[in-house]
Homo-oligomer: A and B are copies of this chain.
Amino acid sequence: MKAVLILSGGLDSTTLLCDLLDQGYEVSALTFDYHQKHKKEIRCAKATCEKLKIPQKIADISVLGDLAPSSLTRTELDVPEGHYAEESMKQTVVPNRNMVFLSLAASYAIGIGAQELYYAAHSGDHAIYPDCRPVFVSAMETALHLCDWKDLTLRVPYVNLTKGDIVKKGLALGVDYSLTWSCYKGGERPCGKCGACTERHEAFEEAGARDPLDN
């Protein structure tokens, strides 16, 4: 079975990549470069694909940062620190980002004749990012099928898992988490303070494991 996976280079999508390979899928990874400050995420996705010998397409969608400003793409806006509190995290919402990602990924998947399109939204995303919710995913699939792309199924297998569940699963699959990146800031080392770092820390804690980036 041929599948396209949206691979950011973070914990969740990297785990899903290994999960799909373990299930025997022929996976093509699609990574979006939207001129995010945390470019290291893209370098991690690339390193993982090279290590696992997976074909990867890196698509430049700087147009999204151009059309819709957010603190993840604009240098004049600061990435907020602290927990994923609604107020601070809302600044990191690129309006409608996942709809754009899914639409472009669907174009790609249809073009290469893939039957399934995967992305790694998880339960912890729902509160802050409305476009990670199951009902949204389902509405997008409806739209796709109405488009006569009936051969393409949209899959979000982690939508009811916590990030801790995902790390547990990944450790069992032998995922190399040293080749993943979460921090929203642009540094060489994780800042340890932004929402993404906080969430990552909690996920490893929940899985009872040590993050290889914590050195």
Is A144 in contact with chain B by the CB < 8 A criterion?
A: yes
CB pair B95–A149 under 8 Å, yes or no, is yes
Chain B residues whose CB sits within 8 angstroms of the CB of A108 once the complex forms:
67-68
Is A59 in contact with chain B by the CB < 8 A criterion?
A: yes
* 0 or 1 for each of A95-112: is its CB under 8 Å from B? (1 = yes): 111011011101110110
Question: Residue A60 contacts which of B59, B63, B135, B136 (CB distance < 8 angstroms)?
Answer: B63
For the A-B complex with A68-B110, A96-B107 known, give 13 more contacts whose Cβ atoms are closer than 8 Å: A30-B67, A97-B107, A99-B103, A99-B107, A130-B147, A130-B148, A131-B147, A136-B146, A139-B139, A139-B142, A139-B143, A139-B146, A142-B142
CB pair B94–A99 under 8 Å, yes or no, is no
Contact-residue bracket for chain A: 35 or more
Complex: chain B residue closest to A111, CB-CB: B68
Chain B residues whose CB sits within 8 angstroms of the CB of A135 once the complex forms:
146
Give CA–CA (A107, B30) in the complex, Å: 21
CB pair A136–B130 under 8 Å, yes or no, is no
Of the A-B pairs whose beta carbons lie under 8 Å apart in the complex, a sample of 28, sorted by A's number, is: A59-B63, A60-B63, A61-B63, A64-B104, A64-B107, A67-B104, A67-B107, A69-B111, A94-B107, A95-B107, A95-B111, A96-B106, A96-B107, A96-B110, A96-B144, A96-B149, A99-B106, A99-B107, A99-B144, A100-B100, A100-B104, A102-B103, A130-B146, A130-B148, A136-B147, A139-B139, A139-B146, A140-B143
What 7 pairs across the A-B complex have the smallest Cβ distances? A139-B143, A68-B107, A95-B110, A130-B148, A68-B111, A67-B108, A99-B103
Chain B residues whose CB sits within 8 angstroms of the CB of A103 once the complex forms:
96, 99-100, 102-103
Complex: chain B residue closest to A96, CB-CB: B107
Is A46 in contact with chain B by the CB < 8 A criterion?
A: no
Distance in Å: Cβ of A167 to nearest Cβ of chain B: 27
Chain B residues whose CB sits within 8 angstroms of the CB of A185 once the complex forms:
none
* 0 or 1 for each of A57-85: is its CB under 8 Å from B? (1 = yes): 10111011011110000000000000000
